[in-house]
Amino acid sequence: MQPDHPQEECGVFAIASVANVSIDIFYALRVLQHRGQESAGIAVYNNGIKVIKGMGLAHQALKTDDVNNLKGQLGIGHVRYSTVGSSNIENAQPIVVSTNYGDIALAHNGEIVNADKIMDELKKKGWAFITSSDSEIAVRLLTNDIANTGDPVRSLKNLMSMLQGSYSMTIMIDNRVFAIRDPLGFRPLCVGRTKSGFAAASESVVFDTLGGEFIRDVEPGEIVEMLPGEIRSIKTGLSKGKAHCMFEWVYIARADSCIDGKLVYEVRTRIGQRLAKEQPVDADVVVPIPDSGRSHAIGYSEESGIRYSEGLMKNRYVERTFIMPEQSDRVTNVMLKLNPLKSVIKDKRVVLVDDSIVRGNTIRQIVQIVRNAGAKEVHVRVGSPPIRAPCFFGIDMKTREQFAATGRTIEEIGKMITADSLGYISVEGLVDAIGHPANDLCLGCLTEEYPMSVPGEKVRYQKKLDSFV
């Protein structure tokens, strides 16, 4: 079953150190756990690449003894949520392959748009694939190119020129460790210091946890090599612009992370403030849908002057609702996950603030929970515009049919979720709140215009669909 929020993709990490790195990688994956809960893995270099991985959360997938026994001063890690490839141990990462050059390990956050085309072409040449993951295509292309060039950096540049789509990757090539970011910078990636070396991570908050220091974001189209004493930057010349995913600031990234120069918490607060200006309502209390709507709700309260209160308590030890097999189970699961504070809600006009609506099923149930707690009115306010188009770049929103906004006006969506009123932030308001120019953001799921060619879809600034092949 599909989630009611844009589902996280994956988290990646890489480190070069003068000390053993396996524990640091494990802690980094715990910090990045919100980006993927299906599988986790660690690979380190020690006279060849050694890897451990498993299904579930990092502390479930990676046993303490296995982590402690994994010795090496170079390593990469990965937490996964599958957007391409099924959820099983064969698709868990890092992917490790052996070559004449040496072992190669790769961890990938994102989605390769031309993966199917590349795979079909390679199969015709006799190539065989073990997994259904687009990440395997990347590692196979890389290993093949290194066999020809013998030059890891040159082969990374060649790989980046072949791949179309979104990718932030951490890669070990024998005893060297790299991080690369796609030429449009869809998915986040940054570099920083640790106590004993240098590292790359999907989010800056990792360096806080490791007692290190965030340095900067990896530039779109950049290759970075981590060494124990420095970071080496290699420019590829492939970047022609930027298309940072707006959902990183709206929902995906941790609020205490800094993504492409913008602190996520501050952006979400500004989103709430702008939302209050654009979608005001007479009400008594602003209640966030925890945890994703909290920062937005704080901003909404600050701008509107309406009191903020935690009116819904979250049980953090309940499975995600979208994996439940039956609708009745999912309804019960929402009740297990959220419990209303009746003293906050009873006889009040409530503003429920959330980050986004995908299908609308969960928000409808939450509206009913708030009504049953005695709310006089329930007004829903949303920190992203209506989602109208699929994501092809790493978020699990794949078909228009799943969206609440497909074929419905905002008033009709409001009736569907049984709210007294429904208000979304505008695209313009969202862009202003993020603080990057619209041209530097990917807004395709909102505008139905994408920053790069996708078969059957419109490219931004293109006037008519039939003018593009």
Cα separation, 352 vs 363, in Å, equals 9
pLDDT (tens digit, 9 = 90+) per residue, 213-254?
999 999 999 999 999 999 999 999 999 899 999 999 999 999
Cα separation, 9 vs 203, in Å, equals 13
Instruction: Please check the confidence at residue 325 and state whether its pLDDT lies above 70.
Output: no
pLDDT of 90 = 76
Q: Is 240 exposed, middle or buried (0-12, 13-18, 19+ CB in 10 A)?
A: exposed
10-245 folds as Glutamine Phosphoribosylpyrophosphate, subunit 1, domain 1 (3.60.20)
The number of CA neighbours under 13 Å toward the Cβ of 57 is 10
Looking at the DSSP bridge assignments, the partners of residue 428 are none
Asked if the domains 10-245 and 263-447 are classified in one and the same CATH topology, the answer is no
Domain boundaries, the chain: 10-245, 263-447
Cα separation, 89 vs 104, in Å, equals 19
Cα separation, 210 vs 206, in Å, equals 6
Cα separation, 138 vs 108, in Å, equals 9
The closest of 355, 335, 346 to 377, measured between CA atoms, is 346
pLDDT (tens digit, 9 = 90+) per residue, 33-48?
999 999 999 999 999 9
Evaluated on CA atoms 422, 374, 330, 40, the torsion sign reads positive
pLDDT of 332 = 56
For every residue of 359-428, DSSP letters joined together read SSHHHHHHHHHHHHTT-SEEEEEESSPPP-S---SSSS---GGG-TTTT--HHHHHHHTT-SEEEE--HH
Q: Which two tokens stand for residue 211?
A: 């007692």
Strand order across the beta sheet in which 10-17 lies: 49-55, 39-45, 74-80, 10-17, 197-201, 190-193, 213-217
Q: Which two tokens stand for residue 222?
A: 């950049």
Other CB atoms within a 10 A radius of the CB of residue 413 amount to 23
Phi, psi of 245 (to 5 degrees): -70, 120
Count of all residues that appear for the chain in the document: 469
Among the options 10, 190, 245, 391, which is catalytic?
10
Q: Which two tokens stand for residue 228?
A: 């124990």
Instruction: Please check the confidence at residue 133 and state whether its pLDDT lies above 80.
Output: no
Q: Is 222 exposed, middle or buried (0-12, 13-18, 19+ CB in 10 A)?
A: buried
pTM exceeding 0.95: no
245 is catalytic: no
> Among 1-15, 263-277, 281-295, which is the least confidently predicted range?
1-15
Q: For 263-447, which CATH class? A: alpha beta
